[in-house]
């Protein structure tokens, strides 16, 4: 996980994030003990969980710019990288799911059109649960059961 204390610091972790997405370590958990396999991944399901609470309103353009620049480095295609965006404050809401768009230009256009959700208080736990139960699922486009890194 990456974090910064100021929105203006987002560019400083961009390359770290892109590099870590490029070198995904996947866990294979058959009936035997866990085996860690590092490989050249050609397919990834990437979800951006954005703090959309009232306290981030001024920094929201920097978040959007950051997400856009990361997506520009992905190979977005139905059978390659898929992207979803979820915003949260007191309650989470998907801006789009992993199977909503299959082309990079569609994803970038949607990211550029995102509006700040707003709201308070911040409920990160509910947001993480929402992503697990509603975004990293087959109906939402997740390919976890196919072994695609999430």
pLDDT tens sequence across 52-66: 999 999 999 999 999
Q: Which residues contact 150 (CB under 8 A, 6 or more apart)?
A: 45, 47, 136, 142, 144
**CA-to-CA separations, 116 to 49, 112, 132, 145, in angstroms, rounded:** 13, 11, 22, 33
Q: Which pLDDT belongs to residue 121?
A: 85
Q: Is 41 exposed, middle or buried (0-12, 13-18, 19+ CB in 10 A)?
A: middle
Q: Which pLDDT belongs to residue 110?
A: 98
Mean pLDDT of the chain: 85
Q: 20 near 56, Cβ under 8 Å?
A: no
pLDDT band at 33 (very low <50, low <70, confident <90, very high): very low
Mean pLDDT of 113-141: 94
**How many whole angstroms separate alpha carbon 98 and alpha carbon 86?**
11
Is 60 exceeded by the pLDDT of residue 35?
A: no
Is 80 exceeded by the pLDDT of residue 14?
A: no
pLDDT tens sequence across 69-126: 999 999 998 899 999 999 999 999 999 999 999 999 999 999 999 999 999 888 999 9
Record the pTM.
Answer: 0.77
């Amino acid at each position: 996980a990456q974090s910064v204390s100021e929105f203006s610091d987002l560019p400083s972790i961009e390359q770290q994030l892109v590099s870590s997405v490029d070198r995904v370590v996947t866990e294979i958990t058959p009936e035997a003990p866990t085996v860690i396999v590092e490989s050249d991944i050609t397919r990834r399901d990437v979800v951006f969980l954005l703090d959309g609470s009232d306290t981030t309103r001024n920094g929201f353009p920097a978040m959007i710019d950051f997400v856009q620049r990361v997506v520009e480095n992905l190979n977005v295609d139905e059978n390659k990288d898929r992207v979803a965006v979820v915003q949260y404050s007191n309650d989470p809401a998907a801006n789009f799911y992993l199977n909503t768009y299959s082309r990079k230009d569609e994803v970038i256009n949607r990211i550029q059109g995102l509006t700040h959700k707003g709201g308070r208080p911040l409920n990160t736990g509910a947001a993480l649960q929402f992503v697990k139960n509603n975004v990293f699922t087959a109906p939402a486009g997740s390919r976890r059961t196919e072994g695609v890194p999430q």
